[in-house]
Amino acid sequence: MSEDLPAGVERREFDGRSRLATRGEPVYGEPTDGAWRAWDPTRSKLGGMIELGMDTGLVGGETVLYLGAAAGTTVGHVADFAGPTYAVEFAPRPARDLLDVAASRDRLFPLLKDARKPATYAHVVEADVDVVVQDVATRGQADVAVRNARFLADDGRLLLAVKARSEDVTADPAETFDGVLDRLGDAYDVLETCRLDRFHEDHLGVVATPTR
Amino acid sequence: MTDDTHGEGAGWFAALDPDDPDDPGDQGGPDAAATAITAGSAETPRDWPTLAVEAGFAASTDDYYDRLHDATTAATRRTVRERERADDQQLIHAIRAVDDCERVANELAERATEWAGGLFEEAPAGVAGAREVAARDPSTDAERRAVSLATRAVDLADERDALAAYIERVAPAVAPNLAAMAGAELAARLIALAGGLEPLAKKPSGTVQVLGAEDALFAHLAGRAPSPKHGIIYTHDFVRNTRPEDRGSASRALAGKLTLAARVDHYSGERREAIHEDLRERIATIRARADDAASDGGSADE
């Protein structure tokens, strides 16, 4: 597996195991090595996508819109290696933890907003971001991605984790993924897909770029 | 600031005064900035950092991002607090409304069945009787009034059930650990007695133990009675179904863990499995005393 990790992400030894890591304040008691902290691919879809060798196009220092930030586990790592990072989360309770993550990261901007309604944060999130990361567990995940395409630069990337069970708990995940990819085609060209089952059951990782 | 940055489609910073961002009385204070983040909207994003520097809101892009960090953090913190505060207050209203509905439904049902008893054949007292009366077909004016009154009683009893179902749904969101340990209804009652989740989280365990037994507590403090062993937590299975001589220990243990649960819920909000296991173990130990006593008694008899 060729490794093109973004600047600011490295493989380091934790308890004899080589693991992904970024530099920043610990968030939830993860193992640390000096300023470095382990990035657990089983807790983070984006971590899983990188661990599985998907070509995310991340280089470090980019401007990021992160949809579905939850308590900030993943977005904390993103803010560690990326540039300005907008973190959108809908639920107040996890947002409280997200605030703690943002407290030690001055380029992480927490926004308590509904990712299905981009107009409620387009007055804050800048145009032409380099990357949209999406990990929202609601129905209509493709719709969310399509509506948020307006924020992406022409050569930007969508890094999407699709949860099959959020769309339809009874359907075969493979069919659900086909439906999501079909809808994504309205606004994106899909570059790569990869099942994340090794780390996240019934999830599909998608890398896409906007159709212009 | 130029006028075209105002109004619909403008950035969050458009109406803020950049010169004095730390004066809360000022237009550009943190409150105004947070409100602009929370309440604003735009159809299309623009290059806000550059526009903000051009408009004189920020000296540089770095300065803009610093201000954005302060404003988004303040806005999120404020909204998080408001929503959480709102939620435990809804729970308090709902549990009080449950008690009101139950009390009034019983009173009205009592009156309606008593009245109907003189008009139709005897119906059982209470809400069950009111349901029978409400289903009747009245033929006289008096019957119409009695049946109508019974219908109101039944409606109130149904409203009580709907409120209880609402509490079952909301309590786990407001206080996941407390609701899992106490059940939704008792969790709501504890929050209501304390006046909110935060005040409950700040109470010592000994106070939580006797919440709802204030009369007995003050009688004790006045020297007229023994100290109460339990308040509203008496309704919990761990207290009620423990033999009387061990109920003091059981309610002390339960109150201790309920207090921890309320604190975890208020300060972290995560589900913490360990406190639930600790409590189950502790109650099992306390209840085992009864078995020990039984086997001791058995051997003494021999």
Asked if residue B15 is part of any domain, the answer here is no
Q: What is the mean pLDDT of chain B?
A: 87
- Considering only CA atoms, which of B233, B186, B241 is closest in space to residue B213? B233
Looking at residue A3, its pLDDT comes to 64
Q: CB–CB of A95 and B76 under 8 A?
A: yes
Half-sphere exposure of B18 (CA within 13 A, CB side): 18
Asked if residue B3 is part of any domain, the answer here is no
Asked if residue A181 lies in contact with residue A206, where contact means CB atoms within 8 angstroms, the answer is yes
pTM for this prediction: 0.61
State the Cα–Cα distance between residues A117 and A115, nearest whole angstrom.
5
State the Cα–Cα distance between residues B214 and B200, nearest whole angstrom.
15
Q: Looking at the structure, do residues B205 and B279 belong to the same domain, yes or no?
A: yes
pLDDT of B176 > 60? The answer is yes
Looking at residue B188, its pLDDT comes to 96
Asked if residue B69 is part of any domain, the answer here is yes
pLDDT in tens, B194-228: 999 999 999 999 999 999 988 888 888 888 888 88
Among chain B residues, CA nearest to A95 = B80
Main-chain phi, psi angles of B112, to 5 degrees: -65, -40
Q: Looking at the structure, do residues B149 and B250 belong to the same domain, yes or no?
A: no
CATH number, domain of B123, equals 1.10.287
Could you tell me where the DSSP H helices lie in chain A? 45-51, 73-81, 92-103, 141-147, 164-167, 173-184
Main-chain phi, psi angles of A65, to 5 degrees: -110, 120
- The DSSP result for B53-114, as a single string, is HHTTS-SSHHHHHHHHHHHHHHHHHHHHHHHHHHHHHHHHHHHHHHHHHHHHHHHHHHHHHH
- Considering only CA atoms, which of A161, A173, A199 is closest in space to residue A70? A161
> DSSP secondary-structure letter at A108?
E
Asked if residue B227 lies in contact with residue B220, where contact means CB atoms within 8 angstroms, the answer is yes
Number of A–B residue contacts, CB under 8 Å:
92
Q: Which residues of A touch B36 (CB under 8 A)?
A: 123
pLDDT in tens, B3-57: 344 445 789 999 887 665 454 444 446 688 999 998 899 999 999 999 999 999 9
Among chain A residues, CA nearest to B43 = A119
Angle at B134 between CA B130 and CA B139, to 5 degrees: 130
Q: Looking at the structure, do residues B137 and B214 belong to the same domain, yes or no?
A: no
pLDDT of A182 > 80? The answer is yes
CA distances to B17, B27, B146 from B13, in Å: 8, 11, 64
Number of structural domains (chain B) is 3
Q: Which residues of B touch A28 (CB under 8 A)?
A: none
Mean pLDDT, residues A175-200: 95
Asked if residue B75 lies in contact with residue B127, where contact means CB atoms within 8 angstroms, the answer is no
Q: Looking at the structure, do residues B118 and B213 belong to the same domain, yes or no?
A: no
Asked if residue B9 is part of any domain, the answer here is no
Q: For chain B, what is the radius of gyration of the CA atoms?
A: 29
Mean pLDDT, residues B267-274: 80
Region for A140 from its dihedrals, namely left if φ exceeds 0, alpha if ψ lies in -120 to 50, beta otherwise: left
Asked if residue B267 is part of any domain, the answer here is yes
Tokens 């006046």: give the residue: B195
Per DSSP, which regions of chain A are E strands?
9-14, 17-23, 32-33, 36-38, 64-67, 85-89, 108-112, 129-134, 152-163, 188-195, 203-210
CB-neighbour burial class of residue B31 (10 A; exposed 0-12, middle 13-18, buried 19+)? middle
Q: Looking at the structure, do residues B98 and B132 belong to the same domain, yes or no?
A: yes
Tokens of A68: 């579905």
Nearest-10 crossing angle of helices B126-134, B61-119: 80
Q: Provide the β-strand partners of residue B260.
A: none
Q: Best residue in B37, B177, B265 to probe A by mutation, most A CBs within 10 Å?
A: B37
b (16+ CB within 10 A) / e for B288-299: eeeeeeeeeeee
Asked if residue B22 is part of any domain, the answer here is no
Please identify, among B155, B174, B193, the residue that sits at the C-terminal boundary of a domain.
B174
Q: What is the mean pLDDT of chain A?
A: 93
Looking at residue B18, its pLDDT comes to 66
Asked if residue B247 is part of any domain, the answer here is yes
Q: Which residues of B touch A92 (CB under 8 A)?
A: 79-80, 83-84
CATH number, domain of B180, equals 1.10.246.90
- Identify the sign of the CA torsion A113, A117, A123, A125: positive
> DSSP secondary-structure letter at A19?
E
Q: For chain A, what is the radius of gyration of the CA atoms?
A: 16
Q: Looking at the structure, do residues B142 and B182 belong to the same domain, yes or no?
A: no
Q: Provide the β-strand partners of residue A108.
A: A85
Please identify, among B174, B201, B234, the residue that sits at the C-terminal boundary of a domain.
B174
Among chain A residues, CA nearest to B49 = A126
> DSSP secondary-structure letter at A32?
E
| A150 shares contact with chain B (CB less than 8 Å) | yes
Q: Looking at the structure, do residues B39 and B117 belong to the same domain, yes or no?
A: no
pLDDT in tens, A68-89: 999 999 999 999 999 999 999 9
| B13 shares contact with chain A (CB less than 8 Å) | no
A3 C-beta neighbours (distance < 10 Å), count: 9
Q: Best residue in A65, A105, A123 to probe B by mutation, most B CBs within 10 Å?
A: A123
Asked if residue B18 is part of any domain, the answer here is no
Please identify, among B174, B198, B215, the residue that sits at the C-terminal boundary of a domain.
B174
Q: What is the pairing mode between strands A32-33 and A36-38? A: antiparallel
Q: Looking at the structure, do residues B127 and B58 belong to the same domain, yes or no?
A: no
Q: Looking at the structure, do residues B263 and B185 belong to the same domain, yes or no?
A: yes
| B83 shares contact with chain A (CB less than 8 Å) | yes
pLDDT in tens, B65-99: 999 999 999 999 988 877 766 678 899 999 999 99
Q: Looking at the structure, do residues B80 and B136 belong to the same domain, yes or no?
A: no
Tokens of B135: 């289903």
Main-chain phi, psi angles of B262, to 5 degrees: -65, -35
State the Cα–Cα distance between residues A58 and A77, nearest whole angstrom.
13
| A81 shares contact with chain B (CB less than 8 Å) | no
Mean pLDDT, residues A83-107: 92
| B79 shares contact with chain A (CB less than 8 Å) | yes
State the Cα–Cα distance between residues A46 and A76, nearest whole angstrom.
12
State the Cα–Cα distance between residues B231 and B245, nearest whole angstrom.
16
B7 C-beta neighbours (distance < 10 Å), count: 9
Mean pLDDT, residues B224-238: 90
- Considering only CA atoms, which of B261, B200, B198, B273 is closest in space to residue B231? B200
Looking at residue B26, its pLDDT comes to 43
Q: Looking at the structure, do residues B300 and B182 belong to the same domain, yes or no?
A: yes
Q: Looking at the structure, do residues B240 and B262 belong to the same domain, yes or no?
A: yes
Write out the residue range of the structural domain in which residue B288 sits. Answer: 175-302
